[in-house]
Structure 1
Amino acid sequence: MKIRRAIEEDVNGIANVHINSWHTTYKGILPDQYLSSLNLEARRKNWLRNLKMLHNATFVAENAHREIIGFAAGGPEQTNDPHIQGEVYAVYILKEYQRQGFGRKMIKAVIHELIKMEHKNLIIWALKDNPSCGFYKALGGQVIAEKTVKMAGIELIEVGFGWQDIKDILLHL
């Protein structure tokens, strides 16, 4: 297992993980029709753009065959909340590699980058029904916010797990 900063050549692997992990994570939460419509080329273009962003902190996990099996991304908080500075935007791992420590290691890499960017606190948003919410609680996150989002034509609830001091999450990693 290797965790490293993502590069442009990784976009195919990241897009593949993104789509496949959405299929397994959000089955029963998002409509099957929506999940089956996810487009690899569109995700690839999206991630190519994301990796070129100035404040990008994206890391990938590779298996022994150097295949990308997970990714995590973060940067400045995206809603301009005056009280929150840093955000982990995404953490996705292929189902067969979950519960092996990859998520913790990737988040740790992102957090170290956010600290270098001088972010003092942190939020991670997740759909309320996402089975990974327990993971964020295990990392010391407290639900500090909740909002309704529209995805796939339906309204869902997102919860924001927060850390007042970004360094507190490192105690759990």
Structure 2
Amino acid sequence: MKIRRAVPEDAASIARVHVDSWRTTYKGIVSEDYLNKLSYRKRQEMWEGAIPKGHVFVAESPDGRVVGFASGGKERTGKFPLYDGEMYALYILEDYQGSGTGKKLVYQLAGDLKKAGLHAMLTLVVENNRARYFYEALGGEKIGSDEVEIGRNSMVELSYGWKDLQRIL
């Protein structure tokens, strides 16, 4: 699996992974109506704006297909003063989950955030999303929780943090 920095031409592929991953990961957690309304076009437009700002990485299969991505940057909420960085997104197509791709993407992102002068990182994950166990296995500690609404469904969103990016690397 090749991990590399995303380029603007990856926006459509990242959008596909983003939408398809949501539809498999959140099936039974978020309403089917909400998942069906996710738009490749809207996600592509979002990623076209985000990629040039940096800290976006893709995982390519041996045949050159984008099968996962991670993005991050400065922590956005201000609720966690000990955590200056944030992993905004980590999504991998279902067929590639459990292959080590997620770890490689997290390591690449953490290294890039460290090079950018950030020292700690957090990420947010819906409590019913099994990815929370992946973050725990990577040494993430539960540092908070919040009530959120996604598609008219109320749920708990957990915050996991790593106090030192070096420990992830």
TM normalised by structure 1 equals: 0.94
Query: 2:46 corresponds to which letter in structure 1?
Result: N
Question: In structure 2, how many angstroms separate the alpha carbons of the residues matched to 1:48 and 1:64?
Answer: 24
Question: In structure 2, how many angstroms separate the alpha carbons of the residues matched to 1:89 and 1:126?
Answer: 10
Query: 2:50 corresponds to which letter in structure 1?
Result: N
* Distance apart, 1:92 and its partner CA: 0.5
1:99 counterpart = 2:83 = no
Counterpart residue number, 1:157:
156
Partner deviation per Cα, 1:91-125 (whole Å, 9 max, x = no partner): 10000011111100011110001101111111011
Question: In structure 1, how many angstroms separate the alpha carbons of the residues matched to 2:157 and 2:26?
Answer: 13
Counterpart residue number, 1:39:
39
Counterpart residue number, 1:77:
75
Tell me the secondary structure at the aligned position of residue 46 of structure 2.
helix
Query: 1:160 corresponds to which letter in structure 2?
Result: S
Q: Which moved more, 1:81-90 or 1:91-100?
A: 81-90
* Distance apart, 1:83 and its partner CA: 2.8
1:135 counterpart = 2:134 = yes
Q: Which runs of 5+ in 1 are unaligned?
A: none
CA RMSD in angstroms, aligned pairs only: 0.9
Percent of pairs with identical residues:
39
Question: In structure 1, how many angstroms separate the alpha carbons of the residues matched to 2:78 and 2:161?
Answer: 15
Question: In structure 2, how many angstroms separate the alpha carbons of the residues matched to 1:98 and 1:83?
Answer: 30
Counterpart residue number, 1:146:
145
Question: In structure 1, how many angstroms separate the alpha carbons of the residues matched to 2:44 and 2:112?
Answer: 23
- Contact kept, 8 Å, 2:2 with 2:60, in 1: the verdict is yes
Count, aligned residues: 168
Tell me the secondary structure at the aligned position of residue 144 of structure 1.
strand
Counterpart residue number, 1:59:
57
Q: Which consecutive aligned stretches of 4+ in structure 1 deviate over 4 angstroms post-superposition?
A: none
Counterpart residue number, 2:7:
7
- Contact kept, 8 Å, 1:141 with 1:169, in 2: the verdict is no
Q: Which runs of 5+ in 2 are unaligned?
A: none
Query: 2:159 corresponds to which letter in structure 1?
Result: G
* Distance apart, 1:151 and its partner CA: 1.1
